[in-house]
Structure 1
Amino acid sequence: MARFRLVIVANRAYADHDTPQGATPEGTAAGGLVAVLRPAAGEGAAWVGAGRGRYDRERVDASGEEWIRTPYGDLRHRRLFFADEEWRGFYELASNAFLWPLLHLVRPFPRLTTYFPQPLTPTREVWSAYRRANEAYAEAAASMDAERAWVHDYQLGLVPRMLRGAGYRGAIGFFLHTPFPDWEVAQEFLDAQGRACFAEWLHGLLAADLVGVQSSADARRLLRAAAVLADAREAEGGLRAEGRFVAVEAHPVGPDATAVEEPARTVADPRWLAELRAVGLPLVVGLERGDYTKGIPERLRAVASLLHRGRRFIHVGAEAPTRVSVPGYEALAAVLDDAAAAAARAAADVGLPFEERREALPWEDVVALLRAADVLVAASLADGMNLVPLQTVLAQGMRPVEARAVLVVGADTGTAAAYGPEFAGRGLVVVDPLDDEALADAIGAALEGLPGRISDAFAQAVRRRDARAWASRYLERLEALHARD
């Protein structure tokens, strides 16, 4: 009998120990991936993740394992520790300077913006570090003796094949939280070495029983790339590669509803937010990681344009710093500074407050800000899902329907794909963030509530597809596919 029902394999740990043992306990790790996986990480589950917290080594046994208490039950957690140079090759260069920008190329963004970087081709040494790290994750996952292995995201694309090669006989699922690129676009930015690395990565994840992606568009793009790079043949519901069927399906993620709705009912506004709300003008909110995929300069330019047109509102933006040591973020920083300064001047010229925070807000402040928003702008150029608009839907449940926010989201996001067909024009505006005039017009219309505001039906749809339901549906499908083999 297996030791665990499920092992979750992710680069991120469930929680980082950044305080000494005996101090105030930490929360879960930051980021959307951990947020959506929390409900699956309960009783009978194990988790393999990197040990990057300052005090992680103090908390684990000789095998790198510990028990972590979660709201869903006790979790057996295995941490992997990497030397600094190995981590730089695996995480900073191969994963985030190469794969991260590459996977977002649903359009040729390096040509369409001044700040979106081309994928940085890994050297052989860097790609070897990526392989070694994936081997470490695969070995650790196999050692947990679980009925099913659920591997997550682009950092671990080789793990399914390595697990299979090691003789693991349980069901193997892989979920890609990012978009999948348009191969016709992506190949323009790859040399021969980059193409070979991407082909190896794609071969790796095709050893899974079920490859989950965020949207049907991502699934179609993956199937087209697999035909070229992996000699795969499309089959009903997936593809055939190397003599076996691999299901490729859209399983759009959802937020952890409980983690949003409970504090939304109780937390007070932080003082700075209460002071802004006291001005009595609508709040236009943007809340993202400071990443070049998020369309932050585009949002700031749209805000400046509306202020120049005489619209009166208060802008509140917060960008959590991210990947400051990863190549490719330098151009974004300069563009962001210029766009923020221009928007701040436009607000000052008409005597309006303007907030643009470069910090990670405490979760209670995040919920309060989303609850208070009158317009939420998530203008990502491309995004696997972007949970912030969906968290906003849940956070606003205590407000009367006529006082709720309008969401403005980028067209190439999982949010637009999952909810646009039903709710576009009903609390949701879908727009091309690279069309400056269209984005400004969309925010302007949202300030008037013209597209309609977040409805109870919208909120119910988000709850039905929350993180718990997403994990349950995915794992049930994985089990059914494995049982069929």
Structure 2
Amino acid sequence: MTARAQLILANRAFLDHEAPRWADSPSTASSGGLLAAVRPVIQPWDGREGTTWIGVGMGRFDREWVDARGYEILETPRGPLRHRRLFFGSATWQGHYGEVANSFTWPLFHLVRADLPRLTGYYPAPQPPSSAGWQSFVLVNRAFAEAACEEDGAQTCWVQDYQLALVPAMLRERGYRGRIGFFLHIPFPALDVVRPYLSPEVCARLRTIVEGMLGADLVGLQTPADVERFVAAASELCGAREADGGLEVGGRRVRVGAYPVGIDPEEVLTAARRGRVATRVRQARELGLPVVVGLERGDFTKGIPERLRAIAEAYRQGLRFAYIGIASPTREGVEAYDALDRQLERDAARAREAAYWVGCPFTQVRASVGWEDVVALQRDADVVFTSSLADGMNLVPLQAAVAQSLRPADERAVVLAGVDAGVTRVFGGDGQDGLVGVDPLRQESMVEGLIAALEGRPVRISDRLIHLVRERDARSWGERFLGDLEEAC
């Protein structure tokens, strides 16, 4: 690739050190969609050149591993990575991460089609940040911008995601002379949907976030629909004018485009070949039952209660299948998740009872599961059921498609995905290639999609879909973005 990101700025560190230096237990790279997407475009550090990753130090033993300025060299499967950690006090971090990023921005930005707090009963209304919380958000973003400006000779700085949305404008204000790219991994909201939550104060905060993003030379979003919503917001809130390929604001051209994120197919295939068949899958096979799998983070954007209701209704209609649902813990300690936890308990209990009356195994647990075990479940499922209310991309269907490529074509699964997930908009949800879009806000859509999948009516995961996922992988995503960033400058 001709363009490289000398600097990657992300809220997350590449990995957290949860063991001291003397322990014989090396730390492993963090998980999550952002890390999975960005890892393949890291350039090995040779002592003078390569990628420097700047992230937050959150591991218990991070300070033991870094020098006085927070630097260390991490050995990764792709070679050495120069890494810097920024450290913040607990009050600052709570204001930045718990209050602004996850109680305000995260729920607000997923409102792309409908007023989810009003419709679901558990999706939290975006909480206007306090003055102290907002100042913490600004402080953290400023620290990242200052750390980037300290890097001598850096030409390309790639800022990742909503937690650091203010950084591009801060870099520009500080006279950063390199290329500035910003990528939003989550959806961008529709102003008409979020308007009920836009008090003058909240509107001012959202305007500042959009202005921060507009500090970049290139703003990347997941889908063309996200681009349309961002352009509309930038025009209304910031006075930007549409221009060829982007926006004009403050006498400067900002390129804006859709860059659907991908996965690392070889990483998935390696795990799929190694992963053992889960005991619950083997037991279902012995009973002659198809296996429906739901795997994701336990987040209120993922539509898990809606899926559990559809599962329960399918059981009530007499369908027989085994269900394995795993929701991994996420953002623990953030109050916005309390209502979701209570709703999940209620809906899981009802689905479990419905499964009992038709004599079918049902599992819904809140647990962290190893990567190989996750991919093995994706590989062995007959239906992969995702149901995001909204999602930047949702990598689970892409991982499932690659994992299922190890099975004969006529034995592969059907993948169900929410209609407002990027994966459905980008890869098509009409079922022609085994990916079916369902609407989590309409139970009949969810139930009908599940029944059709169990009956084998949609086409199963096709070779064409597998080829597309492999072709549009994380490396090609990163190279396309960085190439366009170079052209934009």
> Does the 8 Å CA contact 1:37/1:471 hold for their aligned counterparts?
yes
Aligned residue in 2 for 1:52: 58
Aligned partner letter, 1:467: A
Count how many residue pairs are aligned between Structure 1 and Structure 2: 478
Residue 5 and residue 199 in structure 1: after superposition, are their counterparts in 2 closer, same or farther (change >3 A)?
Answer: closer
Separation of aligned partners in 1, 2:415 and 2:404: 12
Unpaired segments ≥5 residues, structure 2: 45-49
Aligned residue in 2 for 1:141: 148
Separation of aligned partners in 2, 1:277 and 1:63: 55
CA deviation vs aligned residue, 1:101-131 (integer Å, no higher than 9, x gap): 0101112111111111111001111101000
Aligned residue in 1 for 2:20: 20
Aligned residue in 2 for 1:278: 286
Separation of aligned partners in 1, 2:102 and 2:335: 8
Say which SS state the counterpart of residue 93 (structure 2) adopts.
helix
Aligned residue in 2 for 1:87: 93
Separation of aligned partners in 2, 1:405 and 1:460: 16
CA deviation vs aligned residue, 1:182-222 (integer Å, no higher than 9, x gap): 01111211211111111001100101011000000000000
> Does the 8 Å CA contact 2:7/2:53 hold for their aligned counterparts?
yes
Unpaired segments ≥5 residues, structure 1: none
Aligned partner letter, 1:154: Y
Correspondent of 2:249 among 221, 241, 249: 241
What pairs up with 1:69-148 in 2 under 5 angstroms? 69-106=75-112, 107-145=114-152, 146-148=154-156
* Cα deviation, residue 344, structure 1: 0.5
* Cα deviation, residue 272, structure 1: 4.3
Residue 428 and residue 191 in structure 1: after superposition, are their counterparts in 2 closer, same or farther (change >3 A)?
Answer: same
Q: Normalising to structure 2: TM-score of the pair?
A: 0.96
Aligned partner letter, 1:450: R
Aligned residue in 2 for 1:251: 259
Say which SS state the counterpart of residue 186 (structure 1) adopts.
helix
Q: Normalising to structure 1: TM-score of the pair?
A: 0.97
* Cα deviation, residue 451, structure 1: 1.1
* Cα deviation, residue 243, structure 1: 0.6
Separation of aligned partners in 1, 2:233 and 2:408: 46
Aligned residue in 2 for 1:417: 425
> Does the 8 Å CA contact 1:179/1:214 hold for their aligned counterparts?
yes
What pairs up with 1:115-194 in 2 under 5 angstroms? 115-145=122-152, 146-194=154-202
Aligned residue in 2 for 1:62: 68
Aligned residue in 2 for 1:376: 384
> Does the 8 Å CA contact 1:42/1:70 hold for their aligned counterparts?
no
Separation of aligned partners in 1, 2:421 and 2:225: 10
Aligned residue in 1 for 2:453: 446
Separation of aligned partners in 2, 1:70 and 1:244: 39
Matched, 1:332 2:340: yes
Residue 37 and residue 10 in structure 1: after superposition, are their counterparts in 2 closer, same or farther (change >3 A)?
Answer: same
Separation of aligned partners in 1, 2:448 and 2:213: 41
Aligned residue in 1 for 2:47: none
CA deviation vs aligned residue, 1:6-29 (integer Å, no higher than 9, x gap): 111000111111122232212211
CA deviation vs aligned residue, 1:319-364 (integer Å, no higher than 9, x gap): 0111121132121111111000000111111221111120110001
Separation of aligned partners in 1, 2:106 and 2:341: 17
Say which SS state the counterpart of residue 272 (structure 2) adopts.
helix
* Cα deviation, residue 263, structure 1: 1.6
Correspondent of 2:468 among 443, 461, 468: 461
* Cα deviation, residue 408, structure 1: 0.6
Structure 1 vs Structure 2: percent identity of aligned residues? 50
* Cα deviation, residue 280, structure 1: 2.7
* Cα deviation, residue 266, structure 1: 2.5
Separation of aligned partners in 2, 1:20 and 1:305: 50
Correspondent of 2:439 among 410, 419, 432: 432
Separation of aligned partners in 2, 1:285 and 1:267: 16
Residue 87 and residue 111 in structure 1: after superposition, are their counterparts in 2 closer, same or farther (change >3 A)?
Answer: same
Separation of aligned partners in 2, 1:477 and 1:193: 35
> Does the 8 Å CA contact 1:93/1:327 hold for their aligned counterparts?
no
> Does the 8 Å CA contact 2:281/2:291 hold for their aligned counterparts?
no
Aligned residue in 2 for 1:42: 43
Separation of aligned partners in 2, 1:111 and 1:80: 38
Separation of aligned partners in 2, 1:153 and 1:463: 24
Separation of aligned partners in 2, 1:228 and 1:284: 44
CA deviation vs aligned residue, 1:225-264 (integer Å, no higher than 9, x gap): 1111110001111110111111110000011112101121
